[in-house]
Amino acid sequence: MNETIFELLFILIKGMSVVAVFAYLLGMQTDLFKRLISRRAKIKTKLILGIFFGLLSLIGTYLGVHILDAYANIRAIGAIVGGVIGGPTVGIVAGFIGGLHRYLLGGFTAFACGLATFLYGIIGGVIYYYRPLNKITLKESFILGILVIIFEMILVLLFSRPYSLAYELVTIITIPMALSNALGIVLFVSILHNSIKKEEQLKAIQSYKALKIANKTLTYLQHGLDYDSAQETAKIILAETEVAAVSITDQEMVLAHCGLSEDHHQSGQKILTTATKEALINKKLVIVTEQDEIGCPVESCSLQSAVIAPLNRGEEVIGALKLYKAAPEKISNLDIELARGIAELLSNQLHISSLEKEAQLTTEAELKALQAQIHPHFLFNTLNTIISFCRTDPEQAKELLLKLSNFFRKTLKQSSKLVTLKQELEDTLDYITIEKARFGSRLKILTNISDELFCYKLPSFTLQPIVENALKHGISSQAGIGKIKIEALKDKEELIIKVSDNGVGISEAKLEQLLQMNQQNIDSGIGLNNVNQRLKKIYGSEYGLAIESEVDEGTTVSIKLPLCKGKGLLNDEIKNSNC
């Protein structure tokens, strides 16, 4: 009996090798299996794969040995593996084909073996949901192969008659079938693991390429998509990939084309490809596999296939990226994933660029609104003061007019650019000099800023609105000498500027609303709110103004800014703002 068992084992292992090689050559290297492994296969694909594994199961019967009016076989491999990698649909179809074939062959074990084969597919399908293929170890695969054959042998003993013949059959074929089927399943899983690993490595390479391209194109796309930026971007993509040509379009025109067929695919042409229009309209990736679909009027054009990915700016489609292949090359899954990855990264860059532009326009508009709000109050008060000096001190009136014109010339020219703390303080002190003419000896100014801090930068028109607010709402309403102190200090990587006054202070209820824009605090809060919002847009939400105040004691406004690092609108300037 031992000789019989070893002979059976040898024959079944040879048959198992044939099945495994057949499956590897015909299946493992196809895109069909790759889609199946990714769990994105459609029902049609699953049915085809179910038939494929069913045929493998069927072949496993013929590659076995006819013994005692039954078959020692490797039929379990096809049904089990089909279910494990394709799910219940593939497993049931494969098990049904293999099981029905075995039942139709007849013999006293026909029903038991046919039923077992069908159940193999279901078992594989259950495993598919609870144990992903890439998590199944080779040891687990081997144990699975042993257990399913033991399960089949139990069914043979339960349903096959005469029992004595069934028992004799089981004692002979159990070990050879268990080992050969287990080794076959292990071999299949090993092949699939290698296929998945190779796919992941290729995807990692493609992801690296996409990130490298995005990094190189960042400089060109930061101002948006136009002919120049598209041309430079297309050149970079062509150099970093293995495609034949690269095109970038907007919604109507070809902005750039690099690579093969540059002689007749040129920038400035209208979009001809129907597939490109489809990608733009439907906002989805489109694959072109035939030269006719490209729509080139030149018969000798070398471009044969393409993948077209839309370029988005937020929710809006603003163009398309096209990667071309030449004959006899075809677009592969990796080309598709590469195009998708590059398009998404470029779209993110374009979206960020548009947000930065919007933020810059908003910040500049807020600055102009702030200047418009402050100038009238300041202008009318200063003119009244100058008028009074015209009768009592003409020279002082003349000096004030010069300082007023100089101050307005500076502030009207200022934009959202960064200025040094020294320049901002000088402009603020010019403003205070004019105001001192009105307040006279009732106003004293103190500054406490070390020279090493003067070279750090901040947005222009930050200090003056805060000082004016202190004068207008803090000091002007009180009797006695008003004091304003301006100081600055470094706190780790942050610059803290404080403007303090000894004025009437702010009530707790009003203090909570002061940095919020509403109708009740519009007169006193708009300047502070505007400065606060500008700083947050430029640097981030963690920066801006903080206010501390006590009624009849005074108010301190703290300005928190980064020293060397920044976020958002003025990032490049902020990074270079250290001494």
Q: pLDDT for 425-447, tens place per residue?
A: 888 888 788 777 777 778 888 99
Asked whether residue 211 is assigned to any structural domain, the reply reads no
Mean pLDDT of 478-495: 87
Asked whether residue 213 is assigned to any structural domain, the reply reads no
Does the pLDDT of residue 570 top 50, yes or no?
no
Same structural domain, 414 and 527: yes
Same structural domain, 473 and 324: no
In this prediction, residue 216 carries a pLDDT of 77
Domain count, the chain: 3
Q: How far apart are CA 555 and CA 468, in angstroms?
A: 13
Same structural domain, 325 and 463: no
Q: How far apart are CA 327 and CA 294, in angstroms?
A: 13
In SS3 terms, 308-342 reads as: EEEEEECCEEEEEEEEEEECCCCCCHHHHHHHHHH
Does the pLDDT of residue 351 top 50, yes or no?
yes
Does the pLDDT of residue 412 top 70, yes or no?
no
Does the pLDDT of residue 533 top 60, yes or no?
yes
Q: pLDDT for 209-239, tens place per residue?
A: 776 777 777 677 766 778 888 888 888 888 8
Asked whether residue 217 is assigned to any structural domain, the reply reads no
Asked whether residue 342 is assigned to any structural domain, the reply reads no
Q: How many CA atoms lie within 13 A of 467 on its CB side?
A: 29
CB 528 within 8 A of CB 557: yes
Same structural domain, 413 and 275: no
Asked which of 201, 231, 248 is the last residue of a domain, the reply is 201
In this prediction, residue 495 carries a pLDDT of 92
Asked whether residue 346 is assigned to any structural domain, the reply reads no
Looking at every residue in the chain, the average pLDDT score rounds to 79
Whether the pTM exceeds 0.75: the reply is no
Mean pLDDT of 545-574: 72
In this prediction, residue 112 carries a pLDDT of 95
Asked whether residue 59 is assigned to any structural domain, the reply reads yes
pLDDT band at 517 (very low <50, low <70, confident <90, very high): very low
Q: Report the 10 Å Cβ neighbour count for 89.
A: 20
Same structural domain, 300 and 377: no
In SS3 terms, 436-491 reads as: HHHHHHHEEEEEECCHHHCCCEEECCCHHHHHHHHHHHHHCCCCCCEEEEEEEEEE
Q: Report the 10 Å Cβ neighbour count for 263.
A: 8
Residue with more model confidence, 498 or 211: 498
When mean pLDDT is compared across 108-122, 212-226, 269-283, the lowest value belongs to 212-226
**Three-state DSSP state, 393:** coil
Same structural domain, 90 and 144: yes
Mean pLDDT of 341-352: 75
- CATH number of the domain encompassing residue 189: 1.10.1760.20
In this prediction, residue 571 carries a pLDDT of 42
Same structural domain, 366 and 399: yes
Asked whether residue 340 is assigned to any structural domain, the reply reads no
Q: pLDDT for 48-74, tens place per residue?
A: 888 989 998 998 898 888 888 898 898
Q: Which of 242, 205, 130, 173 is nearest to 6 (CA)?
A: 173
Same structural domain, 374 and 451: yes
Same structural domain, 150 and 282: no
When mean pLDDT is compared across 59-63, 174-178, 524-528, the lowest value belongs to 524-528
Same structural domain, 401 and 496: yes
Q: Which domain holds residue 431?
A: 356-575
pLDDT band at 527 (very low <50, low <70, confident <90, very high): low
Mean pLDDT of 255-266: 85
Asked whether residue 337 is assigned to any structural domain, the reply reads no
- CATH number of the domain encompassing residue 290: 3.30.450.40
Same structural domain, 39 and 102: yes
Q: How far apart are CA 346 and CA 232, in angstroms?
A: 13
How do beta strands 544-550 and 494-501 pair? unpaired
Same structural domain, 522 and 393: yes
